Structure 1
Amino acid sequence: MFTNLILIFALQLLYVPVLTLRTIFLVKNMSVAASTFGTLEALIYVFGLSLVFSGHQSIAEMVVYAIGFGVGLYIGTRIESKLAIGYTCLVVNLMDMNQELIVLLREKGFGVTVFEGMGRDSKRFQLEILTKRNRENEVMNLIEEYEPKAFIISYEPRKFKGGYLIKAMKKHLRKNTTIKLH
């Protein structure tokens, strides 16, 4: 019985991160990865449930199954945050134009579009920054360092086309392809 408990827990630690990644790939429209993880998820799920419901229904096995699910969710979200798949868009509202911050962000390879607008009491400046999700903390830290009072909104765009980031990625891809050919 103790072996079953350990096996059930281990299967949940494997199953739930796979389920989490499958869901993320599905939401990000990465259908091949989603279907691959879905197949793996189904195999683990069926095997795990068959252990829990084979023969006698042990309360301990059901509890371990549920605890494993919870711990697996935690592990799955940690894995996803490390992978940081996709892109993020940051909208940064500033009281004053901070040219130093804008130049620094651009030098570091971030596409920055600057807008000027009218707030409740005075003129405001808004930066719109599109970047890969794995660089979001880097951007946030730079903004915090140069503009600690900035108001920042971060969201994940579903689709985008053209612009600086696309050109920069294509240029980077061409450069790496040229290097590989030699």
Structure 2
Amino acid sequence: MKEIILILVLQLIYVPILTLRTIFLVKGKTLFAAFFGMVENLIYVFGLSLVFSGKQSGLAMIVYAVGFGLGILIGGYVESLLAIGYTNLNVKLANYNSELIRKLRELGFGVTVFEGEGRDGKRYQLDILTRRDREKELMGIIEEHEPRAFIISYEPRKFKGGFLLKGMKKGWHKKK
């Protein structure tokens, strides 16, 4: 029974590490990805050897699979806590909201405003780049001031220059 519990624990460690390795690789942080890959494979080989060498191989395989699924949940949760990288919000508004724009800028968010033509007339688009760990805060502020805003969020891979980098040097990136 100790082996079965060990298999579950190994999976609960292995899969979140696999998740982090993948995220670091996608984010271009290859040194971290290589380190997590090494640890991930050590755990993987050890776990598989337990699954195939035990007398309870059928149960061990089921526990291995259940542990993998639970590990995905844990890995996703850990990733959301780390919130590595940046996010870009594209916010569409029916009316120009100077109070929202002022508030966002006061809080250190770089906001670029575009005016366009929609089906029903003028529309305003806010383009906002921020760290991922501030995305929830940003969404809350927008929701508070513009509950009907249309928002698209995506993760940029690379960027250069602009307000965000200047703001980070001044310390505006820190939560207030």
Structure 1 length-normalised TM: 0.92
Structure 2: unaligned runs, 5 residues or longer: none
Q: Which residue of 2 is the match for residue 178 of structure 1?
A: none
How many angstroms apart in 1 are the aligned matches of 2:132 and 2:141?
15
- Counterpart of 2:28, as a letter, is N
Specify the SS of the correspondent of 1:53: helix
Letter in 1 for 2:146: E
Q: CA deviation at 1:168?
A: 1.1
**Helix, strand or coil: the match of 1:160?**
coil
Partner of 2:2: 3
- The aligned runs of 1:77-96 (5 Å cut-off) are 77-96=76-95
Residue by residue over 1:30-85, the C-alpha shift from the partner in whole angstroms, topping out at 9 and shown as x without a partner, is 00110010000010000000000115461100000000000000000000001100
1:53 equivalent in alignment to 2:61: no
AA at the equivalent of 1:116: E
Q: SS of the counterpart of 1:16?
A: helix
Report the more deviating stretch, 111-120 or 47-56.
Answer: 47-56
Q: Size of the alignment, in residue pairs? A: 172
Corresponding residue number in structure 2 for 1:180? none
Tell me the TM-score normalised to structure 2 length: 0.95
For 2:105 and 2:170, the matched residues in 1 are separated by 16
Displaced runs of 4 or more, over 3 A? none
How far the C-alpha of 1:160 sits from its partner, in A, is 0.2
Letter of the 2:83 counterpart: A
The Cα RMSD (Å) is: 1.1
Who is 2:71 aligned against? 72
Q: Aligned partners of 2:152 and 2:2: how far apart in 1?
A: 48
Post-superposition Cα deviations, 1:125-160, rounded to whole Å, max 9, x if no partner, equal 000000000000000000000000000000000000
Aligned pairs for 1:1-182 (under 5 A) are: 2-54=1-53, 56=55, 58-172=57-171
1:5-53 deviation per Cα after TM superposition (whole angstroms, max 9, x unaligned): 1000000000000000000000000001100100000100000000001
- Counterpart amino acid of 1:62? M
Identity of aligned residues (%): 66
Compute the displacement of 1:171 (Å). Answer: 2.8
Distance 1:154 1:62 in 2: 39
Cα separation, 2, equivalents of 1:162 and 1:57: 58
* Structure-2 separation of matches of 1:106 and 1:55: 60
Query: 1:105 is matched by which residue type in structure 2?
Result: L
- For residues 77 and 55 of structure 1, the distance between their equivalents in structure 2, rounded to whole angstroms, comes to 30
CA distance in 1, matches of 2:123, 2:72: 41
Letter in 2 for 1:150: A
**In structure 2, how many angstroms separate the alpha carbons of the residues matched to 1:36 and 1:172?**
30
Q: Deviations over 1:76-128 (max 9, x none)?
A: 00000011000000000000000000000000000000000000120000000
